[in-house]
Structure 1
Amino acid sequence: MRAFIAEFIGVFALVFAGIGAIHVTEGGELVAVALAHGLAISLMILAVGHASGGHFNPAVTFAMLITGNIKLVPAVGYWVSQLLGGLAAAALLAGLYGGEAVLKGTPAVGLGFSAPQGLVAEVVLTFFLVLVIFATALHQKLPVAAFAIGLTIAMDILAGGAISGAAMNPARALGPAVVGGGWADHWIYWVGPLAGAAIAAVFYTQIYMVSDEEEAKLPVDLTPDQPAS
């Protein structure tokens, strides 16, 4: 239950901060919007990530599931908690700012871009995000992992926000869509993140983590300073 609550809080903070920044800046300050999303995730990982691993994203949980880092039953609990967190944040924002603000903060394909372009953007941006998560948090366990992940989210929004809204997270899209009614091309925000996360997880696990495990099994070369015993 501690883990489920943590996942709820993490997504709640992401949606609340993200849509709030979009509303306050009227969508005209991309750097502020990117930082709001990135900081929300970084700080929530530091605050409650110890309880759940700090997924805060159904696509990340899916990546962990297919690589054996979480079992199916808790993964389902994570997904439910994440989606409820996004829905609760969107509902609160609608009460504070109105439904129109939530609608404007719902990820959508940008003007001048097509749905396929939006899909590709979500796949690529989520690939970057999950790659950094696996490298810094899961594999190397770096102390700066929380900030590396948050900076990746900010980078992705700066790079792809104009194309797809750079959601990279089905929970970031579903809650606002339910409350604000913005369902245009909604499928992109499920297919793209899940595909990108799966590709990144399998890629990193097979190329880097498996290689390290194989190297660890190799015999150590004996030198004069390492006599056989």
Structure 2
Amino acid sequence: MTKIALGTSGEATQPDCIRALVVEFISTFLFVSASVAATVAAEKLAAGAMVGLIAVAVTQALFVAAVVPAAHISGGHLNPAVTLGLLAGGHITVVRSLLYWIDQLLASSAACFLVQYLSGGLRIPVHSLGSGVGHFQGVLWEIVLTFSLLFTVYGAIVDPNRGAVDGLGPTLTGFLVGANTIAGGAFTGASMNPARSFGPALISWNWTNHWVYWVGPLIGGGLCGLIYQNCFIVKSHVRISTEEGAY
């Protein structure tokens, strides 16, 4: 079973941690700005629901594919659920995870304030449950969507034995984010990211069902991190002896 590293209080003042926090803030800020701006633009142009959903999906997919490699200093998490998933797998300390969470929420809030200002005060849409979708269904949707996101992150980026997909991790993750947005957008908005939901809720001061967008993604991300790290990542390779009597 993978051990979770606690870290130290002094970690926050280490140069590498400070650089990572700055990069994580910038990358999360840019991601939320692009995602929220695409949503606002779809409403402003009165695009059909499906057209608007596809526009957001494409924006998020392209952005993840482009920015995650650029944010390699911090790992380009952009998302508290991704951070928790990596924490569960022992890839980041508890202390740094908490710092990342604060960083991501501040970046999301700043991004939403900027988009509202640049759009002339247009409404910032919040994530909400679709018609007929209950709380439990919403949580399950977000668990499944976020689990699949972390499954891709682990399989295409984290796993040292990723084979043929080596180097394609961010692009494949971006595709997955786009596909999940189209698949789950009509039901929960397909957040998969508590920070992405937090900024719009804060600036709109609309917290209706907001807890769903924390509980679902965090369960999905943490669960996938535990399962993938402990069940699928091969930590060592022992060469099979070819000598006689090896058995």
The normalised TM-score by structure 2 is: 0.83
Unaligned runs of 5+ in 2: 1-17
Report the counterpart of residue 75 of structure 1 in structure 2. Answer: 97
Q: Which residue is equivalent to 1:138? A: 158
1:152 is aligned, of 159, 171, 176, to 176
Could you state the TM-score of these two structures normalised by the residue count of structure 1? 0.89
- Tell me which residue corresponds to 1:22: 39
Q: Is the 8 A contact 2:86 2:92 kept in 1?
A: yes
Paired residues of 1:99 and 1:180 also in contact (CA < 8 A): no
SS at match of 1:15: helix
Question: AA paired with 1:72?
Answer: V
- Distance in 1 (CA, whole Å) between partners of 2:136 and 2:217 is 14
Percent of residue pairs bearing the same amino acid type:
36
Alignment correspondent of 1:120: 140
Deviation of 1:98 (Å): 4.8
Match of 1:41 in 2: 64
**Which of 8, 22, 27 is matched with 1:10 structurally?**
27
1:178 aligns with 2:202: yes
Q: Distance in 2 between matches of 1:108 and 1:10?
A: 24
Whether 2:229 is the aligned partner of 1:205: answer: yes
**8 Å contact 1:10–1:41 — kept in the other structure?**
no
8 Å contact kept, 2:87–2:225: no
Moved over 3 A (4+): none
The CA distance in 2 between the partners of 1:193 and 1:182, in whole Å, is 19
Match runs of 1:50-129 below 5 Å: 50-102=72-124, 104=125, 106-129=126-149
Map Cα deviations across residues 37-95 of structure 1 (whole Å, 9 max, x no partner): 122222111222x2111111111111111221111221111111111110010010111
Aligned-partner Cα distance in 2 for 1:204–1:99: 43
The CA RMSD over aligned residues, in Å, is: 1.8
Give the number of equivalent residue pairs. Answer: 218
Unaligned ranges ≥5, structure 1: none
CA distance in structure 2 between the partners assigned to 1:14 and 1:208 by the alignment: 30
What is the distance in 1 between the residues matched to 2:209 and 2:120?
A: 23
2:206 is the alignment partner of 1:187 = no
